[in-house]
Structure 1
Amino acid sequence: MEGSAWSLVAARENRVYRVDHPGGRHALRLHRPGYRSDAELRSELQWVEAVSQGGLSVPLPVPSISGDFLVTVDGCQIDLVHWLDGRQMGATGVPLALDNRTGLFRSIGQEMARLHRASDAWSPAADFTRPAWDRAGLLGAAPLWGRFWENASLSPADRDLLCQFRSRADQALKELQPDLDFGLIHADLVRENLLIDGDRIQLIDFDDGGFGYRLFDLATTLGKTLSEPDFDDLKAALVEGYRAVRPLDTTHLDLFMALRATTYVGWIISRLNEEGAEERSARFIRDATDRVQTWMAQDHAPGSRRTA
């Protein structure tokens, strides 16, 4: 890579650089310190390589000269993946500007299902380790993205609502666990992580991927689409596309829409000192309370299995 041209293209959770080399274009990732262990990052890269072999268009890892996918320089974890051409589906908070919107969401559903199918067909090594978006990871004492019910921006009424939701949702997941589709998921299929290249949908940024409920992937994509005027059509297309590849019971999708919304309320807690964070936190809280109220307004009698 010596002498290659490079430029910073993203500075969100990780710093990502585009590197142009005579052998091709690549994305060089400098990982946020302390977010993922070396074992978790190596597992991510092994998983991405496996789903690529399963037919998905994902950023394949490039080994270093020593053959490792991950290297550490001055304490910074670094990896290199192949650059994928295409344009992001959109940006969070900006209305989608797309042609054939339902057709695109149908394709996204299909690609999501292919990811789950390829992941199920793969047998990871014994030391494979990734975070778990399970009951504990969403609602336990130490959720993956923070204790959402302790966000300092919450009003007393909103805090009470989220605490009630946490208790009810935890009981619902406990009852539903045997029937829910669970396995490796991307966990962050927002519009920035979906690249469109002609008719091809490409999935990038597996940084938050791990074990979780398959409905969580659908909820993540849909949660950023709620303000679209044709949301119901896009939702139907996403589900239709998914089911064209593999079966999925979406009876409890509203529960996972609420669960996904609360994760952002927790995620922002450690970032409230950043510029614009108060406004983002207020938006996350509005979204979460709306989703929570939608789910809690339905039939949730103790012992009932009608939790969506």
Structure 2
Amino acid sequence: MSADLPKPYRDALDDRARQALAHWGVADQRPELLKYRENAVFRVSLADGRPAALRLHRAGYHGEAALRSELQWMAALRDGGLAVPQPIATRDGQLLVALPGEGTFGAQHADIIDWMDGDPLGESGKPLSLSPERLVAIFSALGASMARMHNLADHWTPPTGFWRAAWDEEGLLGDRPLWDRFWDCAGLSGAQVAGLSALRRDLRQRLATLPTPAKDFGLIHADLVRENVLVDAAGVKFIDFDDAGFGYRLFDLATALLKNRREPTYEMIAAALISGYRSVRDLSDVALSALPLFLVLRSLTYIGWFAERPELPGARERVVRYAGETLALASELGFA
């Protein structure tokens, strides 16, 4: 989406990035804008020449405590041996800096994380291009790394003041979900509103009566889609912890699988993901029986996400499309 930005705004964004880079003592460079979505993400160079990623966080989306907590958890995972970005401190030892509101921009925060080499597993909306054998190896490694992440989270004691949002029943299906009221969005047809409202009631009941093994709950990544899984010869790496929080571990598995359901190799990669996970962490058949529920829950989140961002190209059309796809998925999997 960065290519669609008007030049005056793009120039102002570059200036804002250099304002942030001054805190790391490397303002004398032209940052390369890579992504403009929740955050503006730039490729930059550190003082020693190493590449890194500067993130300008969207004003008002996450508070300071949530952003600082994200960096603390990433650092803990990296210390535990997981391949995730390492936060880079400023010259005075801060992981997060506050930028005052001025001109085009409101008050916002910035941070720098180290550069992660590798290619994204894929791109949403495009068929996976790798061979079936390679995909099986990658999804097996993805499952194992996901399980290691959950294990590390369970054995880590968050510092005082740690806060991240919860992908729990209220965060997913409550009156004020984390990503908007998916059953009450502008542009939905009457049939879609009725269908999503009925589905929400059904899912709330099912989520409240989950079998005990499926209630595994703790810190999760919450957005392990193709673009956030980097692949290289050494294995897989996780990036973009912007949505990380407390949630059901099955939500991470469902997120990694949902957009791949129409792939011809889906059954193979799903089996590989689950096998890889089970090679590191317990996942019983009873727990796994709830995976369809979390596939539907994950699908619902995309409706609200785009409903909250009507300024994005095609947002309204996507809300309607995702509503239709979710209702079809729910029907296919045996929900209301």
- Distance in structure 2 (CA, Å) of the matches to 1:159 and 1:177: 29
1:220-258 CA deviation, whole Å, 9 max, x = no partner?
111111121111111111111111110122110000000
Residue 288 of structure 2: SS of its match in structure 1? Answer: coil
Do the aligned residues in 1 keep the contact of 2:220 with 2:248 (CA within 8 Å)?
A: yes
Aligned to 2:20: none
Q: Which residue of 2 aligns with 1:218?
A: 253
Distance 1:297 1:204 in 2: 32
Alignment partner of 1:86 is 2:124? no
Counterparts of 1:66 and 1:8 in 2: how far apart (Å)?
A: 25
SS in 1 for 2:41: strand
| Mapping of residues 10-159 of structure 1, within 5 Å | 10-21=35-46, 22-74=48-100, 75-99=107-131, 100-159=134-193
Matched residue SS, 1:268:
helix
Q: CA deviation at 1:212?
A: 0.1
1:176 aligns with 2:210: yes
Partner of 1:2: 27
User: Residue type of the partner of 1:86?
Assistant: G
CA distance in 2, matches of 1:97, 1:6: 31
Deviations 1:27-51 (A, max 9, x none): 0000011110000000000000001
- Describe the superposition over 1:71-101 as per-residue Cα deviations: whole angstroms up to 9, x where unpaired: 0112220000001111111111011111311
Matched, 1:251 2:289: yes
> Alignment partner of 1:149: what SS?
coil
Normalising by the residue count of structure 2, what TM-score does the alignment of the two structures yield? 0.85
| Structure-2 change in CA distance of 1:165 and 1:296 (3 Å) | farther
User: Alignment partner for residue 312 of structure 2, among 268, 274, 277?
Assistant: 274
One-letter identity of the residue aligned with 1:175: T
Change (3 A) 1:23 1:105: same
State how far apart, in whole Å, the 1-side matches of 2:180 and 2:333 are: 21
Report the Cα distance in structure 2 between the residues aligned to 1:155 and 1:262, rounded to whole angstroms: 16
Q: Give distance in 1, aligned partners of 2:78 and 2:267.
A: 31
Gapped runs of 5+ residues in structure 2?
Answer: 1-25, 101-106
Superposition deviation, residue 274 in structure 1:
2.7
Deviation by residue 1:94-119 (Cα, 9 ceiling, x = unmatched) = 11111311111111111111111111
Asked if the contact 1:40–1:130 (Cα under 8 Å) also holds between the matched residues in 2, the reply is yes
Displacement of 1:11: 0.7
Contact kept? 1:96, 1:228, Cα under 8 Å: yes
Note if contact 1:215-1:256 (Cα within 8 Å) is conserved in structure 2: yes
1:297: Cα distance to partner? Answer: 4.4
Aligned residue pairs, count: 298
Contact kept? 2:179, 2:308, Cα under 8 Å? no
Identity in percent: 45
Please give the secondary structure, in 2, of the residue aligned with 1:271.
coil
Deviation per CA, 1:6-61: give whole Å up to 9, x if none: 21011111000000233411100000111100000000000000011111011100
Partners in 1 of 2:29 and 2:78 — Cα distance?
26
Query: What secondary structure, in the 3-state scheme, does the structure 1 residue paired with 2:27 have?
Result: coil
- The answer to which of 168-177 and 144-153 deviates more is 168-177
Conserved 8 A contact 2:182-2:301: yes
Residues 162 and 292 in structure 1, CA contact (< 8 A), matched pair in contact too: no
Give the structure 1 partner of residue 7 of structure 2: none
Deviation at 1:269, TM superposition (A): 0.8
Which stretch of structure 1 is more off in the superposition, 287-296 or 18-27? 287-296
Q: Deviations over 1:127-156 (max 9, x none)?
A: 110000000000001000010001223222
Query: Any conservation in 2 of the 1:181–1:214 contact (CA below 8 Å)?
Result: yes
Residue of structure 2 equivalent to 1:187: 222
AA paired with 1:192? Answer: E
Question: Which position in structure 2 is the counterpart of 1:264?
Answer: 302
Listed as ranges, the matches of 1:223-238 within 5 Å are 223-238=258-273
- Tell me the SS of whatever aligns to 2:209: helix
8 Å Cα contact 1:265-1:285 kept in structure 2? yes
